[in-house]
Each structure stands twice: as C-alpha cells, then as structure tokens.
Structure 1
Amino acid sequence: MAAAAHPLAGAGRNESIRRAFQVLECLAESPGASIAGVARETGLPRATVTRVLATLADMGAARRDGSGWTIGPSIGALARSIDPSLAEQAGPRLAALAADLGETVMLAVPEGALGARVVAEAVGPRTVGVGSWLGRTMTDPASGFVRMRLAALDRPARQRAVGELQLVAHTRSTVRSRRALLAELDRIAQADHAEVVDQFEQGLAGLAVPLRGNDRIVGLLAVYLPTSRLDAGMRRRALQALQATAQSLTGASETTTSSSSSHTR
C-alpha cells in the first residue's frame, strides 16, 4: 500500500518554528540549561538561541530559572489539553497505596532545574503522620524528591549541580558536606530510589522512587512517615509498593499517550 501523501506536502516550511522546537526539546531533556548549553546541544548559534528563548518567554513557553532556562507553563497547558494529567491518573492509585501502607503518599513532578512540585497526595489514616504538602515545591537537597532528581543527572552534571547548592543544616543529621552528598547521590543512582531520615525535619522519614518516560524523570512518587515507623519491614514493603505503583502509572501514561496518538493519525 502506498504511503499517504502529507496533507501539506507542497507547502513551505518555517525554520523559525523548527528552531523553537529544537530549543524546547533541549529544555525538556536538560531543565535549567544555560543559553550556551542550549546552543551547544542544538548546534544553533548563541544569538539565535537568545532570540528564540526571548520569544518563547514572551509566550510563556519558556522561563528563566536562576542561571538557566526551563519549559514554561503554557507548554504544560497545551499538554493537558491532549492527555489526562499524571495527577488525575494517579489519584485512585495513591489512595489505594496510602490505605495499604497506612501512611501519606505523594506524587511530584519536576519543577525548574532540580525542584519537584507536589501535584497529588493521599493522606494516611494514622492520627500521627505527615500533613498536606499539596502544591508545595521542594528545592532543598535534604528532600528525597530533589535528591532523586540530582541522582538522575550524569556524574559530571551532578558534581556541578552539587557545587552550586546551598546546603542548609535543618537537623543534626542533615548532610552538610558536598562530598557526603555526592556519595549519597551515587548510592541513590545505583539503587534507583532515595531514602531520607531526619534530613529535612527531625522525626521525618521518606522513600522516593522515579517515574520515567522517554528516558527521563516525569514524576516522583514518595511515602513520608514518622521515622519511628520506618523499620526494615516497612522499608521493604513500602519500596516494593512504590515501585509497583510507579510502574503502573508509567504504563497507564504510555497507554494513554499511545491511544491519543492513534486517534490523531
């Protein structure tokens, strides 16, 4: 069967739009990239990247984040018009997970260069537990969410990122040295999950696992609970449940995306 002709086969092409998508794809793969970094990754002249980013920023499609650039909110709005959000898909699974573990579980999405914003949660049934973090953006490396994002970087990028961090001693247990943090991030990268105990707040513990799509982190799933309740049995059970839920969410997201794509062809 002959391939269907492109509906606009005879039309010209706009190279400015092509370059804009090159820049957006670079920011999606390397959040927080500098203008020089985007130019290097895309092969575009630095002056061109500067003009493209300025235009994208005017439209809310890109935004400045410290010394780098990230995808802007208007791109998220466009994406939500195509597929259900990860938060919507996660709701029932988070509720089931919180009921199973008896603890509060949260779903976060990448925000900025290394942050994570909590977009969905299910509070555990215990009287003593973790309060709501919904809508909160975590940027501190004492957070399991942020450590998971740092660990996902290749080692040279990880070293550069840690070198620029401000390490705040929230408790006596908080990792204070960059060398110790890098060693911890190496362990997280190897294990593919983060565990934080008394790092951000005394008496607070958490486990976090990544959700991946297209070879990058698209979400982070975590359980937070009082340190006194994180024994070896709970650690093992929670980690298995988190990983299974993350896998089911990633599979559901891929199925939804595939179905949506098939309807557009």
Structure 2
Amino acid sequence: MATESVVSAFRVLEAVAEAQPVGLSELARSVGLPKSTVQRNLLTLQEVGWLRPTETAPTRWQLTYRVVAIVGRAGGESLREAALPVMNELQLGTTETIHLAAADGDSLVLVERLDTPHRLRAFLPLGERIALHASATGLAYLSACGDEYLDKYLAGPLPAQTPDTLTDPGRIRAVVNEIRERGYSVNVGGLSHGISSLGAPIESASGPVAAVSVSGPSSRITADRFDELGPQVREAAARISLALRGER
C-alpha cells in the first residue's frame, strides 16, 4: 500500500508538471485516480515543498522551485553550479537571454534562465518542459544523442508548437546532422513565434545531459548574427561540459 501511495504521488507530481497550473478535477482525470486520492497527494506534496496552490479561485496547482533545483542536480555535480559562471559570461557577451535546459525523458526542462536587460526579450518560465524537435536546446541535445535514440524519438509524435516548428522526421534528421557538423543549432520561431535561438549540447562523462541557448526576438537575433552568436554558444557548452567532467 505504501508503495502504491508513493507511485500515485509521483504520478500526480508529473501530471502537475505537464499541465500547470492545473485544477483537481483535471488532475484526477489525467492520472485516473479518485479526487480524494489526488487531493491527499497534493496536500502531501505541498507539505514537503514540491507543489504550491495558486491564490486564485478555484485553486490550481503548480510546481515550486524545489523541483527545478533537484532537476539541476541530476547526475551528480550540480549542473547549475557548473553552468552559471559560463552563462553569466555568455549573457554579458551577447546581451540576450540565456537558457539552460536539462534532459528529462524525451524532453528538456528549463532549470536556469539569465534575462537580457532589453525590454523586448525571450521568456520561458523555470520548470517549463521543452520539446526536443521544436527548440534550439532540444535540437542541440538531439545532435549529441546516438542514432538509435534519434530514430526512436523521430518515430514518435512530433507536434507543432508554432507554424514554424519542424515536424517532418526527415527534415529534423537533416537539421540534426547539420548541427553535428557545425556544433550549434539555429531555431527561428519553432518554439515561440517571433523568437530566434541558438543552442549547443552539454555532455557529461556519461553522455548528453542538457543544452544551453541564447534567445531573443527575431527582429534582433537576425540571420547575419548567427555566425557571431553560434560559436559563442558552442564554446559555452563545451566549457560547461568540461566542468561537469571535472576538467576545469
């Protein structure tokens, strides 16, 4: 019974992560559990600091930053600790928003963001799940994965996030191969309309674990800046990878 309670709590936690902010009825339907069970799990997860209710009525639930912190420490040494100094330099050098996204299943989770001083900027909330095929970080991550993983991912659903999202498996494979040769990805409007991003994969000793990107309005991150920004992102990812492997 105790094991079943733990499993149901994690199912609720994952469901909140997918749909936050989300209400009790919707959660109960998505996890296939009675409302009373889901409510108990929500209160328990709130008590231990993983979830918090919104202040609006009716009550909806969302993740706390504790979840983000745990994700950032996946794999041993803190990914955030290794990445933040490099991200700071990248943000100062590009003056654009820098995102750090860690792998979690077949998607990435945004674990850190350094904002641009520009009023017009790219924005994703911490804890946001990011589709691999739709984002600069995701495509960069895929480029560091083996062909077996890539084949499996491309065989699954590839929903469009915007009209510019890559959804054709053949085209995605070609783009991934280009990224492997160049060392960084370019994504124009694939995740958010009007936002351009360039990303590069981060690899620990065991393989790809995350990706870093520079993002901003497409009106500011134009094609003539790709050759300037891409190598900066690639170098930043390489430095973070070295730090994760203890090769500072």
Shorter-chain TM-score: what band? 0.5 to 0.7
1:154 aligns with 2:132: no
**Which one is further off, 151-160 or 200-209?**
151-160
Cα distance, 1:251–1:125 mapped onto 2, change above 3 Å: same
Cα distance, 1:206 vs. partner? 0.5
Counterpart in 2 of 1:218? 209
Identity %: 19
Structure 1 residues 133, 238: CA separation in 2 closer, same or farther (over 3 Å shift)?
farther
Aligned residues: 191
Kept after mapping to 2: 8 A contact 1:103/1:123: yes
What is the CA-CA distance between 1:131 and the residue it aligns to?
2.1
The answer to whether structure 1 residue 96 and structure 2 residue 89 are counterparts is yes
2:185 and 2:230 in contact (8 A); partners too: no
| Partner Cα distance (1:178, 1:103) in 2 | 30
Q: After TM superposition, what 4+ stretches of structure 1 lie above 6 angstroms from structure 2? A: none
- Tell me which residue corresponds to 2:126: 134
Give the drift of 1:132.
4.1
Structure 1: distance between partners of 2:74 and 2:157: 36
How far off is 1:170 after superposition?
1.4
Choose 1 or 2 for highest CA Rg.
1
Q: Does the Cα contact within 8 Å between 2:145 and 2:208 map onto a contact in 1?
A: no
Residue pair 1:123, 1:132 contacting (<8 A) in 2 also? no
Instruction: Map Cα deviations across residues 163-199 of structure 1 (whole Å, 9 max, x no partner).
Output: 212332612x332322222222222233232111121
- The verdict on how the C-alpha distance between 1:151 and 1:90 changes in structure 2, with shifts beyond 3 A counting, is closer
CA distance in 2 between partners of 1:239 and 1:162 (Å): 25
Cα distance, 1:125 vs structure 2: 1.0
Report the CA distance shift for 1:128/1:179 in structure 2 as closer, same or farther (over 3 A).
Answer: same
How far apart, in 1, do the equivalents of 2:100 and 2:168 lie? 28
**Secondary structure in 1 aligned to 2:226?**
helix
Amino acid corresponding to residue 143 of structure 2 in structure 1: A
Query: Which residue is equivalent to 2:179?
Result: 188
Decide whether aligned partners of structure 1 residues 162 and 128 sit closer, same or farther in structure 2, where only a CA change above 3 A counts: same
Residue equivalent to 2:28? none
Contact 2:144 2:201 in 1 (8 A): no
CA RMSD of aligned residues (A): 3.6
State yes or no: 1:86 paired with 2:79.
yes
How far apart are residue 82 of structure 1 and its match?
10
Q: Could you tell me how far 1:255 is from its partner in structure 2? A: 2.7
Do 1:221 and 1:246's aligned partners in 2 also have CA atoms closer than 8 Å? yes
Matched residue type, 2:174: A
Code of the aligned partner of 1:116: L
Q: Is residue 132–residue 141 contact of structure 2 (8 Å, CA) maintained in 1?
A: no
Query: Which residue of structure 2 aligns with residue 204 of structure 1?
Result: 195
Q: Which amino acid aligns with 2:165?
A: T
| Structure 1 residues 224 and 165, CA gap change in structure 2 (3 angstroms) | same
Structure 1 segments unaligned to the other structure (5+ residues)? 1-53, 65-75, 259-265
**Residue number in structure 1 paired with 2:159:** 167
Paired with 1:82 and 1:177, the residues of 2 have a C-alpha distance of: 32
Give SS of 1:110's match: strand
| Partner SS state of residue 244, structure 2 | helix
C-alpha distance in 1 between matches for 2:86 and 2:147: 33
> Aligned partner of 2:185: which letter?
A
Distance 2:155 2:75 in 1: 39
The normalised TM-score by structure 2 is 0.64
Letter in 1 for 2:121: G
Q: Distance in 2 between matches of 1:82 and 1:181?
A: 28
The structure-2 alpha-carbon separation of the partners of 1:140 and 1:83, relative to structure 1 and needing over 3 Å to count, comes to closer
How does the TM-score come out when normalised to structure 1? Answer: 0.60
Whole-Å Cα distance in 2 between the matches of residues 82 and 145 of structure 1? 19
Q: Which amino acid aligns with 2:197?
A: G
- Out of 111, 115, 119, the position equivalent to 1:119 is 111
Q: 2:170 aligns with which of 179, 197, 217?
A: 179
